[in-house]
Amino acid sequence: MSPLDALLHLLNFALMPLLFAALAAALAKAAWPRRLASSGWLRLASGGTAGALAAQVAGVAFSGRDGAIAVYLAMLAGCAAGLAWAGRGALLRS
């Protein structure tokens, strides 16, 4: 495997949590516009990405392969935890 192929594999591995968290952050900002007004979209998306990516790495290490339904469920839980952590200040102030 060439270095370019390895880089593309890593980017592809990180793309799913990134897009998942970006969509979740946008939906959270739309669902709770007043409570999350002080939290920026980028902060929410980065928190969700960190949680989803950590869950994906742990899921792949545990299951041995990518694409398992349990890994996607773990990504959902990790993204929700990351969003809650990133938006905790705005939610606690309300």
User: Going by C-beta distance under 8 Å and a sequence separation of 6 or more, which residues neighbour residue 9?
Assistant: 1
User: Structure pTM?
Assistant: 0.84
Report how far residue 3's alpha carbon sits from residue 24's, in angstroms, rounded to the nearest whole number: 32
pLDDT in tens, 22-75: 999 999 999 988 888 888 899 999 999 999 999 999 999 998 887 789 999 999
In single-letter form, the type of residue at position 60 comes to: V
| In the predicted structure, residue 92 carries a pLDDT above the cut 70 | no
Report how far residue 18's alpha carbon sits from residue 22's, in angstroms, rounded to the nearest whole number: 6
Exposed/middle/buried for residue 43 (C-beta within 10 Å: 0-12, 13-18, 19+): middle
How confident is the model at residue 67, as a pLDDT? 78
* Domain chopping of the chain, boundaries: 3-93
